Amino acid sequence: MAPSGSRSVDCWRVLYWIPVLFICVIVAWSYYAYVVQLCIETIENMGEKIVYLLAYHVLFIMFVWSYWQTIFTKSMNPLKEFHLSHSDKELLEHEDRRESQQDILRRIAKDLPIYTRTMSGGGHILIEAHPNRAKTLLIAGKVTVRYCELCLLLKPDRCHHCSACEKCILKMDHHCPWVNNCVGFSNYKFFMLFLAYSLLYCLFVSATDLQYFIQFWTNGLPDTQAKFHIMFLFFAASTFSVSLAFLFAYHCWLVCKNRSTLEAFRAPAFQHGPDKNGFSLGMNKNFRQVFGDEKKYWLLPIFSRYLGDGCSFPTCLVNPDPEQPSSPTGHNPSTKSAGESHLFPSKPLRESQSRLINNTRSEGSEDRDKRGTSNPALTIEKET
Protein backbone atom coordinates (compact mmCIF):
# COMPACT_ATOMS: atom_id res chain seq x y z
CA MET A 1 0.00 0.00 0.00
CA ALA A 2 1.38 3.40 -1.03
CA PRO A 3 2.22 5.82 1.81
CA SER A 4 -0.10 8.78 2.33
CA GLY A 5 2.70 11.23 1.45
CA SER A 6 3.12 9.65 -1.97
CA ARG A 7 -0.64 9.82 -2.63
CA SER A 8 -0.76 13.53 -1.71
CA VAL A 9 2.11 14.29 -4.09
CA ASP A 10 0.36 12.43 -6.91
CA CYS A 11 -2.84 14.35 -6.14
CA TRP A 12 -1.03 17.68 -6.40
CA ARG A 13 0.52 16.64 -9.71
CA VAL A 14 -2.91 15.85 -11.09
CA LEU A 15 -4.04 19.36 -10.10
CA TYR A 16 -1.17 20.80 -12.14
CA TRP A 17 -3.03 19.66 -15.27
CA ILE A 18 -6.06 21.87 -14.54
CA PRO A 19 -4.68 24.93 -16.47
CA VAL A 20 -3.87 22.67 -19.45
CA LEU A 21 -7.38 21.18 -19.31
CA PHE A 22 -8.82 24.70 -19.20
CA ILE A 23 -6.93 25.68 -22.36
CA CYS A 24 -8.04 22.47 -24.10
CA VAL A 25 -11.69 23.15 -23.27
CA ILE A 26 -11.44 26.73 -24.55
CA VAL A 27 -9.77 25.58 -27.79
CA ALA A 28 -12.32 22.81 -28.33
CA TRP A 29 -15.19 25.23 -27.82
CA SER A 30 -13.59 27.81 -30.15
CA TYR A 31 -13.30 25.13 -32.84
CA TYR A 32 -16.99 24.29 -32.52
CA ALA A 33 -18.04 27.94 -32.42
CA TYR A 34 -15.95 28.94 -35.44
CA VAL A 35 -16.34 25.91 -37.71
CA VAL A 36 -19.92 24.89 -36.96
CA GLN A 37 -21.71 27.98 -35.69
CA LEU A 38 -19.91 30.66 -37.74
CA CYS A 39 -18.70 29.05 -40.96
CA ILE A 40 -21.32 26.35 -41.50
CA GLU A 41 -24.43 27.86 -39.89
CA THR A 42 -23.95 31.61 -40.37
CA ILE A 43 -21.76 32.40 -43.42
CA GLU A 44 -23.78 32.05 -46.62
CA ASN A 45 -21.13 32.85 -49.24
CA MET A 46 -19.57 29.52 -50.26
CA GLY A 47 -16.26 31.00 -51.40
CA GLU A 48 -15.81 32.93 -48.15
CA LYS A 49 -16.74 29.84 -46.18
CA ILE A 50 -14.13 27.65 -47.92
CA VAL A 51 -11.33 30.22 -47.59
CA TYR A 52 -12.07 30.78 -43.92
CA LEU A 53 -12.18 27.04 -43.18
CA LEU A 54 -8.92 26.30 -45.02
CA ALA A 55 -6.98 29.14 -43.38
CA TYR A 56 -8.48 28.37 -39.99
CA HIS A 57 -7.49 24.71 -40.05
CA VAL A 58 -3.91 25.49 -41.06
CA LEU A 59 -3.52 27.83 -38.08
CA PHE A 60 -5.41 25.44 -35.81
CA ILE A 61 -3.15 22.49 -36.68
CA MET A 62 0.05 24.51 -36.19
CA PHE A 63 -1.26 25.92 -32.91
CA VAL A 64 -2.25 22.54 -31.47
CA TRP A 65 0.92 20.87 -32.78
CA SER A 66 3.24 23.42 -31.16
CA TYR A 67 1.20 23.33 -27.93
CA TRP A 68 1.47 19.54 -27.82
CA GLN A 69 5.24 19.69 -28.37
CA THR A 70 5.68 22.27 -25.63
CA ILE A 71 3.75 20.15 -23.14
CA PHE A 72 5.17 16.72 -23.88
CA THR A 73 8.77 17.48 -24.80
CA LYS A 74 10.75 16.30 -21.80
CA SER A 75 12.94 18.95 -20.20
CA MET A 76 16.64 18.16 -20.49
CA ASN A 77 18.71 17.63 -17.37
CA PRO A 78 22.46 18.05 -16.83
CA LEU A 79 24.74 15.38 -18.26
CA LYS A 80 26.24 12.68 -16.05
CA GLU A 81 29.60 14.46 -15.90
CA PHE A 82 28.02 17.24 -13.81
CA HIS A 83 26.74 14.82 -11.16
CA LEU A 84 28.89 14.08 -8.16
CA SER A 85 30.41 10.64 -7.92
CA HIS A 86 29.68 8.46 -4.91
CA SER A 87 33.08 9.20 -3.38
CA ASP A 88 32.67 12.96 -3.90
CA LYS A 89 29.25 12.85 -2.25
CA GLU A 90 30.64 11.12 0.79
CA LEU A 91 33.56 13.53 0.95
CA LEU A 92 31.17 16.49 0.78
CA GLU A 93 28.84 15.05 3.43
CA HIS A 94 31.65 14.48 5.92
CA GLU A 95 33.00 18.00 5.52
CA ASP A 96 31.35 20.53 7.84
CA ARG A 97 33.18 23.72 6.92
CA ARG A 98 31.70 25.74 4.09
CA GLU A 99 35.09 26.75 2.70
CA SER A 100 36.27 23.16 2.60
CA GLN A 101 33.09 22.13 0.78
CA GLN A 102 33.72 24.86 -1.78
CA ASP A 103 37.29 23.64 -2.26
CA ILE A 104 35.92 20.19 -3.06
CA LEU A 105 33.41 21.62 -5.53
CA ARG A 106 36.09 23.76 -7.18
CA ARG A 107 38.27 20.72 -7.67
CA ILE A 108 35.38 18.87 -9.32
CA ALA A 109 34.42 21.86 -11.47
CA LYS A 110 37.90 22.66 -12.77
CA ASP A 111 37.53 20.43 -15.85
CA LEU A 112 33.89 21.27 -16.56
CA PRO A 113 32.71 24.03 -18.94
CA ILE A 114 31.32 26.22 -16.15
CA TYR A 115 31.88 30.00 -16.35
CA THR A 116 29.10 31.45 -14.21
CA ARG A 117 28.97 31.38 -10.44
CA THR A 118 27.09 32.63 -7.42
CA MET A 119 28.03 35.67 -5.38
CA SER A 120 27.66 35.08 -1.64
CA GLY A 121 29.08 36.13 1.69
CA GLY A 122 28.12 39.79 1.51
CA GLY A 123 29.32 40.43 -2.01
CA HIS A 124 27.71 43.45 -3.62
CA ILE A 125 27.90 45.72 -6.62
CA LEU A 126 28.81 49.39 -6.32
CA ILE A 127 27.60 51.71 -9.07
CA GLU A 128 29.95 54.67 -9.49
CA ALA A 129 28.93 57.74 -11.48
CA HIS A 130 30.99 58.69 -14.56
CA PRO A 131 30.71 61.74 -16.87
CA ASN A 132 29.84 59.60 -19.88
CA ARG A 133 28.82 56.24 -18.45
CA ALA A 134 28.42 54.28 -15.26
CA LYS A 135 31.06 52.03 -13.78
CA THR A 136 30.37 48.73 -12.12
CA LEU A 137 32.81 47.65 -9.43
CA LEU A 138 32.68 44.22 -7.82
CA ILE A 139 33.25 44.60 -4.09
CA ALA A 140 34.45 41.89 -1.68
CA GLY A 141 32.17 39.03 -2.51
CA LYS A 142 32.81 35.33 -2.21
CA VAL A 143 32.76 33.46 -5.47
CA THR A 144 31.05 30.10 -5.05
CA VAL A 145 30.46 27.24 -7.43
CA ARG A 146 26.82 26.83 -8.42
CA TYR A 147 25.80 23.59 -6.73
CA CYS A 148 22.37 22.01 -6.32
CA GLU A 149 22.04 20.35 -2.93
CA LEU A 150 18.82 18.59 -3.98
CA CYS A 151 20.06 17.02 -7.22
CA LEU A 152 23.66 16.70 -5.94
CA LEU A 153 25.24 18.14 -9.06
CA LEU A 154 27.23 21.12 -10.25
CA LYS A 155 24.89 23.37 -12.16
CA PRO A 156 25.92 24.00 -15.77
CA ASP A 157 25.73 27.58 -17.01
CA ARG A 158 22.12 28.81 -17.29
CA CYS A 159 20.81 25.72 -15.46
CA HIS A 160 18.41 26.17 -12.53
CA HIS A 161 16.49 23.92 -10.18
CA CYS A 162 12.71 23.88 -10.70
CA SER A 163 10.77 23.35 -7.48
CA ALA A 164 7.67 22.26 -9.42
CA CYS A 165 9.49 19.64 -11.54
CA GLU A 166 11.84 18.83 -8.64
CA LYS A 167 14.92 18.67 -10.85
CA CYS A 168 17.53 20.87 -12.51
CA ILE A 169 16.55 22.13 -15.97
CA LEU A 170 19.05 23.09 -18.68
CA LYS A 171 18.78 26.74 -19.76
CA MET A 172 15.63 27.10 -17.70
CA ASP A 173 13.42 30.00 -18.72
CA HIS A 174 10.46 29.48 -16.41
CA HIS A 175 7.96 26.89 -15.29
CA CYS A 176 4.74 27.47 -17.22
CA PRO A 177 1.52 26.25 -15.57
CA TRP A 178 -0.34 26.55 -18.90
CA VAL A 179 1.76 23.74 -20.34
CA ASN A 180 2.53 21.99 -17.01
CA ASN A 181 6.16 21.83 -18.01
CA CYS A 182 9.40 23.71 -17.65
CA VAL A 183 10.28 25.88 -20.61
CA GLY A 184 13.98 25.45 -21.25
CA PHE A 185 16.65 24.32 -23.67
CA SER A 186 14.73 21.36 -25.13
CA ASN A 187 11.36 23.05 -25.79
CA TYR A 188 11.94 26.82 -25.91
CA LYS A 189 11.58 26.79 -29.71
CA PHE A 190 8.24 24.98 -29.36
CA PHE A 191 7.12 27.48 -26.74
CA MET A 192 7.96 30.41 -29.04
CA LEU A 193 6.05 28.79 -31.91
CA PHE A 194 3.16 28.07 -29.55
CA LEU A 195 2.97 31.77 -28.66
CA ALA A 196 3.28 32.80 -32.31
CA TYR A 197 0.64 30.43 -33.68
CA SER A 198 -1.77 30.98 -30.80
CA LEU A 199 -1.49 34.74 -31.40
CA LEU A 200 -2.09 34.29 -35.15
CA TYR A 201 -4.99 31.95 -34.37
CA CYS A 202 -6.68 34.49 -32.09
CA LEU A 203 -6.06 37.40 -34.47
CA PHE A 204 -7.49 35.43 -37.41
CA VAL A 205 -10.59 34.43 -35.46
CA SER A 206 -11.12 38.01 -34.26
CA ALA A 207 -10.66 39.51 -37.73
CA THR A 208 -12.96 37.09 -39.55
CA ASP A 209 -15.57 37.15 -36.79
CA LEU A 210 -15.67 40.96 -36.53
CA GLN A 211 -18.28 41.68 -39.19
CA TYR A 212 -20.66 39.11 -37.73
CA PHE A 213 -19.99 40.43 -34.24
CA ILE A 214 -21.09 43.87 -35.47
CA GLN A 215 -24.20 42.32 -37.04
CA PHE A 216 -25.04 40.82 -33.64
CA TRP A 217 -25.31 44.31 -32.13
CA THR A 218 -27.24 45.68 -35.10
CA ASN A 219 -29.69 42.78 -35.08
CA GLY A 220 -28.41 41.60 -38.45
CA LEU A 221 -28.07 37.97 -37.41
CA PRO A 222 -30.89 35.43 -37.27
CA ASP A 223 -32.20 34.73 -33.80
CA THR A 224 -30.40 31.41 -33.22
CA GLN A 225 -27.86 30.10 -30.71
CA ALA A 226 -25.12 30.83 -33.26
CA LYS A 227 -25.15 34.55 -32.50
CA PHE A 228 -24.19 33.98 -28.87
CA HIS A 229 -21.28 31.76 -29.90
CA ILE A 230 -20.18 34.46 -32.35
CA MET A 231 -20.31 37.13 -29.66
CA PHE A 232 -18.36 35.18 -27.03
CA LEU A 233 -15.90 33.92 -29.65
CA PHE A 234 -14.96 37.49 -30.57
CA PHE A 235 -14.58 38.53 -26.92
CA ALA A 236 -12.43 35.49 -26.07
CA ALA A 237 -10.22 35.75 -29.14
CA SER A 238 -9.69 39.50 -28.69
CA THR A 239 -8.84 39.16 -25.01
CA PHE A 240 -6.33 36.37 -25.60
CA SER A 241 -4.83 38.31 -28.52
CA VAL A 242 -3.89 41.24 -26.30
CA SER A 243 -2.23 39.13 -23.58
CA LEU A 244 -0.47 36.88 -26.12
CA ALA A 245 0.85 39.88 -28.07
CA PHE A 246 2.61 41.28 -24.99
CA LEU A 247 3.98 37.88 -23.97
CA PHE A 248 5.19 37.04 -27.47
CA ALA A 249 6.84 40.45 -27.89
CA TYR A 250 8.65 40.02 -24.57
CA HIS A 251 10.01 36.61 -25.48
CA CYS A 252 11.06 37.85 -28.94
CA TRP A 253 13.11 40.49 -27.13
CA LEU A 254 14.62 37.79 -24.89
CA VAL A 255 15.58 35.70 -27.93
CA CYS A 256 17.23 38.68 -29.60
CA LYS A 257 19.22 39.36 -26.42
CA ASN A 258 19.92 35.65 -25.76
CA ARG A 259 18.50 35.83 -22.25
CA SER A 260 16.10 33.68 -20.33
CA THR A 261 13.32 35.11 -18.19
CA LEU A 262 15.37 34.30 -15.09
CA GLU A 263 18.46 36.03 -16.54
CA ALA A 264 16.41 39.10 -17.41
CA PHE A 265 15.51 39.52 -13.74
CA ARG A 266 18.87 38.42 -12.35
CA ALA A 267 21.91 38.70 -14.59
CA PRO A 268 24.30 35.73 -14.67
CA ALA A 269 27.48 36.40 -12.70
CA PHE A 270 30.80 36.09 -14.50
CA GLN A 271 34.24 36.74 -13.06
CA HIS A 272 33.94 40.47 -13.83
CA GLY A 273 30.52 40.65 -12.19
CA PRO A 274 26.89 40.28 -13.34
CA ASP A 275 26.43 40.72 -17.08
CA LYS A 276 23.00 40.45 -18.71
CA ASN A 277 24.62 40.34 -22.15
CA GLY A 278 27.20 37.71 -21.24
CA PHE A 279 25.73 35.08 -23.58
CA SER A 280 24.70 37.38 -26.41
CA LEU A 281 26.37 36.73 -29.78
CA GLY A 282 24.38 39.19 -31.86
CA MET A 283 20.78 38.95 -33.02
CA ASN A 284 21.35 36.43 -35.81
CA LYS A 285 23.37 33.99 -33.72
CA ASN A 286 21.05 34.40 -30.75
CA PHE A 287 18.10 33.47 -32.94
CA ARG A 288 19.87 30.40 -34.29
CA GLN A 289 20.70 29.21 -30.78
CA VAL A 290 16.95 28.79 -30.20
CA PHE A 291 15.64 27.81 -33.65
CA GLY A 292 18.67 25.94 -35.02
CA ASP A 293 20.64 26.60 -38.19
CA GLU A 294 18.29 24.91 -40.68
CA LYS A 295 15.87 27.54 -41.97
CA LYS A 296 13.41 25.02 -43.41
CA TYR A 297 12.52 23.92 -39.86
CA TRP A 298 12.24 27.32 -38.21
CA LEU A 299 8.45 27.58 -38.51
CA LEU A 300 7.75 23.93 -37.76
CA PRO A 301 7.42 22.56 -34.20
CA ILE A 302 9.84 19.72 -34.85
CA PHE A 303 13.32 19.02 -33.56
CA SER A 304 15.91 20.93 -35.53
CA ARG A 305 19.64 20.67 -35.06
CA TYR A 306 20.38 22.62 -31.90
CA LEU A 307 23.53 24.67 -31.55
CA GLY A 308 24.89 23.10 -28.40
CA ASP A 309 24.05 20.48 -25.82
CA GLY A 310 22.44 22.78 -23.24
CA CYS A 311 25.27 22.29 -20.75
CA SER A 312 27.72 24.83 -22.18
CA PHE A 313 27.29 28.03 -24.14
CA PRO A 314 29.71 30.36 -25.93
CA THR A 315 29.93 33.66 -24.09
CA CYS A 316 30.23 37.12 -25.56
CA LEU A 317 31.18 39.99 -23.25
CA VAL A 318 29.38 42.83 -24.99
CA ASN A 319 30.62 46.40 -24.53
CA PRO A 320 28.46 49.03 -23.02
CA ASP A 321 24.80 48.18 -23.11
CA PRO A 322 22.33 51.01 -22.39
CA GLU A 323 20.47 48.80 -19.90
CA GLN A 324 23.41 48.07 -17.65
CA PRO A 325 26.63 49.71 -16.47
CA SER A 326 29.86 48.85 -18.24
CA SER A 327 32.84 47.19 -16.62
CA PRO A 328 35.60 49.43 -15.25
CA THR A 329 37.88 51.11 -17.78
CA GLY A 330 40.96 49.10 -18.52
CA HIS A 331 39.58 46.00 -16.86
CA ASN A 332 39.62 42.92 -19.01
CA PRO A 333 36.81 40.73 -17.67
CA SER A 334 38.14 37.63 -19.29
CA THR A 335 41.42 37.84 -17.39
CA LYS A 336 41.39 35.98 -14.10
CA SER A 337 43.06 37.32 -11.01
CA ALA A 338 45.63 35.14 -9.31
CA GLY A 339 43.31 34.49 -6.38
CA GLU A 340 40.50 33.03 -8.46
CA SER A 341 42.26 31.50 -11.43
CA HIS A 342 41.85 28.04 -9.97
CA LEU A 343 38.07 28.38 -9.92
CA PHE A 344 37.33 28.43 -13.62
CA PRO A 345 40.38 27.46 -15.68
CA SER A 346 40.48 27.62 -19.45
CA LYS A 347 38.59 24.73 -20.99
CA PRO A 348 38.43 23.59 -24.62
CA LEU A 349 35.44 24.60 -26.71
CA ARG A 350 32.84 21.98 -27.44
CA GLU A 351 32.13 21.22 -31.11
CA SER A 352 28.84 23.15 -31.17
CA GLN A 353 30.48 26.19 -29.58
CA SER A 354 33.36 26.15 -32.06
CA ARG A 355 30.94 25.98 -34.98
CA LEU A 356 28.87 28.89 -33.72
CA ILE A 357 31.86 31.08 -32.91
CA ASN A 358 33.54 30.28 -36.24
CA ASN A 359 30.35 31.37 -38.00
CA THR A 360 30.37 34.49 -35.88
CA ARG A 361 33.91 35.30 -36.92
CA SER A 362 33.32 34.70 -40.63
CA GLU A 363 30.06 36.66 -40.81
CA GLY A 364 30.73 39.55 -38.45
CA SER A 365 34.48 40.05 -38.27
CA GLU A 366 34.18 43.74 -38.99
CA ASP A 367 32.09 44.24 -35.82
CA ARG A 368 34.35 42.29 -33.46
CA ASP A 369 36.15 43.99 -30.63
CA LYS A 370 39.87 43.49 -31.12
CA ARG A 371 40.74 43.10 -27.45
CA GLY A 372 42.52 39.87 -26.50
CA THR A 373 41.24 37.25 -24.12
CA SER A 374 43.07 34.65 -22.12
CA ASN A 375 40.15 32.22 -22.07
CA PRO A 376 39.56 30.37 -25.37
CA ALA A 377 35.89 29.87 -24.46
CA LEU A 378 35.25 33.61 -24.30
CA THR A 379 34.96 35.67 -27.45
CA ILE A 380 34.39 39.42 -27.48
CA GLU A 381 32.10 40.80 -30.14
CA LYS A 382 29.93 43.86 -30.51
CA GLU A 383 26.27 43.00 -30.57
CA THR A 384 24.56 43.42 -33.94
Catalytic residue positions?
Answer: 176
SS3 for 358? helix
Q: What is the CA radius of gyration of the chain?
A: 25
Q: Which residues pair with 73 in a beta bridge?
A: none
Q: Give ∠ CA 311-317-320 in degrees, rounded to 5.
A: 145
Report yes or no: 157 and 145 within 8 Å, Cβ to Cβ: no
Beta pairing class for 378-379 and 315-316: parallel
Rounded CA separation 281/257 (Å): 8
Rounded CA separation 173/379 (Å): 24
- Continuous H helices in the chain: 4-15, 18-31, 46-72, 86-93, 98-109, 188-217, 226-257, 261-265, 283-291, 351-363
CA distance readout (Å), 202 to 81, 134, 244, 252, 374: 44, 44, 9, 18, 51
SS3 for 128? strand
